[in-house]
Amino acid sequence: MPDDGLDFGLVVAGYGRHYVVETPEGRRVICHPRGKKSECVVGDRLRWQPAGDEGVIEHVEPRRNLMFRQDEWRTKAFAANLDQILVMVAAKPVFSESQLARALIAAESAGIAAHVLLNKADLPEIEDARARLAPYTRMGYEVVEVALKARTDEARATLSPMLEGKATLVLGPSGAGKSTLINLLAPDAKAQVGEISQALNSGKHTTTSTQWYWLDAQRTTGLIDSPGFQEFGLRQVTAQDLPTLMPDLREHLPGCRFYNCTHQHEPGCGVRAAVERGEISESRYRIYGEIREELSQTRW
C-alpha cells in the first residue's frame, strides 16, 4: 500500500499553508502539504510523514462531509467530518433569521444534523426570540434554550449530553455567546490556543480561522469554532435544489402542479398555497426568494 509507514493525524487548526496536525497520542505538529495546493481543512483525517521538526502531508482521507464559506470572490471549504452543527442565536441582540436559515440550509446540503441553541434565556427578550424560532421548531429542528452566564451549571448539564462523543461545529453571530460557550465547556481552551500559537510561532502568524477544541481529556468530544457567520457559503447549492433543503417548503412540493415549479409565480403551486394558509411563514418564504435569486445568478 502506498501509505505504508505514514503517520495518522487530525487537522485541528490552520493558517495559510501551515496546518496543526494532532497525532493519535495527542502530540501537535506543524505540517505542510506536498506541492502547491493547500486543500486541508479542520476536521480532516490525513496521513503525513516527519520532515525535521515538522511534517509533510501526503494524503487526505476521504471526507464524510464538508462545509463551505464564501466571500465576494470565492467559495472555500473550512470544516470536514462533522457529526452535527450547533447554530447559536441569542435573545439579545436580535438575530438575523436569514443567517440562521442559510446555516441550516448548508447543513441540510451537507447531510449534517443541525440544532439551534438559543442563549440568554434569562432576558425578557426571550419571548420574542421564541416566537421568531417557532417555525423552526414546527419544521423539526431542536431549539435548546440556555443562559450561559446566568445559569452556568444548568447550561453545562443541558449541553454536555448533546455534544458527548461527537464533533460539533458551532456557528453564530457576534454577541450570541460563542466564546462564553467554549470557555464554559473547554476549560483549557486558552491552553489549546496557546499550543497552536506557539506551534505556528504566532509572532509571524495569527490564527483567527477555524479551531478545534477538545472538551474531555480522552479527546472523544470535539467543538469546532469558526468565525464569519455572515460569510456562510451556499454557492454549492442549485436554485432547483434549494426548496428541497428547506423542510417547511419541502413538505409542500408534492402539491405543485408543475415538476419544475419555482414556487414564485406558477399556478397550482403547493408552496405558495401553504404560505397563504399560514403553514409556511412569510419570513421563510421571503428568505427563500432572496436566496433563490442569488443562486440563479451566474454561477462560479
Q: Would you say 32 is a known binding-site residue?
A: no
Q: Would you say 168 is a known binding-site residue?
A: no
Going from the C-alpha of 297 to that of each of 168, 249, 292, the distances in angstroms are 32, 21, 9
Q: Would you say 175 is a known binding-site residue?
A: yes
CA distance 177 to 94: 13
Beta carbons within 10 angstroms of residue 45's beta carbon: 17
Q: Would you say 256 is a known binding-site residue?
A: yes
Going from the C-alpha of 217 to that of each of 79, 232, 236, the distances in angstroms are 22, 31, 36
Q: Would you say 172 is a known binding-site residue?
A: yes
N-to-C CA span, the chain: 37
Contact, 54 vs 31, CB < 8 A? yes
Q: Would you say 38 is a known binding-site residue?
A: no
Task: Name the region of 175 (left: φ>0; alpha: ψ -120 to 50; beta: rest).
Answer: left
Q: Would you say 176 is a known binding-site residue?
A: yes
Judging by beta carbons within 10 Å of its beta carbon (0-12, 13-18, 19+), is residue 278 exposed, middle or buried?
exposed
The strand pair at 113-119 and 211-214 is best described as: unpaired
The DSSP-derived string for 163-182 is HTTSEEEEE--TTSSHHHHH
Q: Would you say 121 is a known binding-site residue?
A: yes
Q: Using alpha carbons only, give the angle 173, 157, 218 rounded to the nearest 5 degrees.
A: 90
Q: Would you say 180 is a known binding-site residue?
A: yes
Contact, 300 vs 72, CB < 8 A? no
Q: Would you say 281 is a known binding-site residue?
A: no
**Which residues, 6 or more positions from 46, have their beta carbon under 8 angstroms from its beta carbon?**
8, 9, 10, 11, 21, 40, 57, 58, 59, 60, 61
Q: Would you say 122 is a known binding-site residue?
A: yes
CA distance 282 to 199: 50
Binding-site sequence positions for GTP:
119-122, 172-180
Q: Show binding-site residues for Zn(2+).
A: 256, 261, 263, 269
Residues in the annotated binding site: 119-122, 172-180, 256, 261, 263, 269
